[in-house]
Structure 1
Amino acid sequence: MTPPPTQPVLRLSDVVYGVAERRLLAGADLTVPAGRSVSVMGPSGSGKSTLLMCLMGLIRPASGRVEVMGEDLARLSSRALAAHRRRHIGMVFQFGELLPELTPVENVMIASLLAGAPADTARSRAQELLDGLGVPHRTATHDLSGGERQRVAVARALVNTPELLLADEPTGSLDGEHREAVADLLFSTPREHGCALIVVTHDPAVASRADVRLHLHEGRLVQVEEAR
């Protein structure tokens, strides 16, 4: 499904979510079109992880709407939600969450196979992405550098050509050189792959690369400044 020009990839409308008596999201609003990047900062415990889980449909807000490609995630059945997530959303985790005993190609293929792609197609797409990212195919994943592992994680997130790419502290475990390389890669994806990108980070230097910088403050997403 390709969105019409007027339809954003992601739209949050007055999203509210809390745990016990604590509100982590208190009327969060956000609209992101294809080809744009957004960074979200905030102190630990401010609700950034909760926000990402809402965007993936892993938790349902108490009220409000989370729409990805025009679908309100809360209205989908569990089966339909899983299919919608596989088709439209890619996720890059802080530590990659790769299987070390597999090759990079096999790690990337998994997401494609789960989405129902034939093995040959999945392997070809994985190799194409890894070639583009400069990651060796045959080296065991556990022998890769931290930066190479994160590039594998990005490739896995992109293998199903998602419209929405999410990244949770993607450079948090990397040193300076690898951090810059992975940040370069992530913030080039909206332009090169036509997706919308949301990056949650504690790093102001990483956040500053986004088209729009937001701060999660008292459950609301507040714009800090236009980065460019």
Structure 2
Amino acid sequence: MTSPPTRPVLDIDDVVYDVAGRRLLAGADLAVHPGQSVSVMGPSGSGKSSLLMCIMGLVRPDSGHVTVAGQDMNGLSSRALAAHRRRHIGMVFQFGELLPELTPVENVMIASLLAGDSAGDAQSRSERLLADLGVPKTTATQDLSGGERQRVAVARALVNTPELLLADEPTGSLDGKQRASVADLLFRTPRAHGCALVVVTHDETVARLADVQLHLVDGKLAQVQEAR
């Protein structure tokens, strides 16, 4: 007897989104399941950032639906949306968006504390994640290498055990060796943590590491090829 298919963590259904009279998303569709990774490529201005904002609920599409962890993001109030995002979505930005004056542990703890966890739980979980990711927890964040800072950013995105991990050009500011290390870490994460991963990138080498490669063309997501 075969097991029933898992529910997608992320389900984008016929999403249309216009900005200043320009159609950036024109019926985009995407389903991403637990343990699966997807890369999205496309030229600047093609709508990749708008796609991420729709997924996070930071903008509402003109039509269609974005469902994350079983919840239609369009149907939530601002307060409920923020709470759902904190608990179910982790985000890794291109430049990490860390606070340099804090330690790596403190930077990771912030996300846990904002989700309502106790300081003790937040600290122990943050320290375990940083140890797993090979980041020195006592070094000041401002003294870390670029690759180490991105590992801290990944730890912060994972600290609340999100079902969906998003990454926006996560290797764009790194050199070759650091880029490869961070990319390898990101694409091992879905299987290690049971989450779904969507990475927006301009780097074809990074994109090829995904289970599924997509290209945003004329507002639609078109599959390039199976990565492996």
Shorter-chain TM-score: which interval? Answer: over 0.9
Question: Matches of 1:16 and 1:6 in 2, distance apart?
Answer: 26
Asked if 1:114 corresponds to 2:114, the answer is yes
Residue 98 (structure 1) aligns with: 98
- TM-score, with structure 2 as normaliser: 0.98
Asked if 1:8 corresponds to 2:28, the answer is no
Question: Matches of 1:20 and 1:97 in 2, distance apart?
Answer: 28
Residue 164 (structure 1) aligns with: 164
Q: Structure 1 residue runs of 4+, over 6 Å off?
A: none
Deviation at 1:5, TM superposition (A): 5.0
- Report the number of matched residues: 225
Question: Matches of 1:42 and 1:5 in 2, distance apart?
Answer: 30
Question: Matches of 2:162 and 2:6 in 1, distance apart?
Answer: 18
Structure 1 residues 4-83: aligned runs within 5 Å: 6-83=6-83
- TM-score, with structure 1 as normaliser: 0.98
Residue 222 (structure 1) aligns with: 222
Question: Matches of 2:38 and 2:7 in 1, distance apart?
Answer: 17
Question: Matches of 1:191 and 1:174 in 2, distance apart?
Answer: 24
Residue 212 (structure 2) aligns with: 212
Residue 143 (structure 1) aligns with: 143
| Structure 2 counterpart of 1:112, one-letter code | S
Taking only aligned residues, the RMSD between alpha carbons, in angstroms, comes to 0.8
- SS of the aligned residue for 1:25 comes to strand
Report if the CA contact (8 A) 2:6-2:34 is conserved.
Answer: no
Question: Matches of 2:162 and 2:69 in 1, distance apart?
Answer: 10
Question: Matches of 2:102 and 2:6 in 1, distance apart?
Answer: 41
Question: Matches of 1:109 and 1:210 in 2, distance apart?
Answer: 28
Question: Matches of 2:7 and 2:191 in 1, distance apart?
Answer: 18
Deviation at 1:89, TM superposition (A): 0.1
* Percent of aligned pairs with the same amino acid: 77
| Structure 2 counterpart of 1:156, one-letter code | R
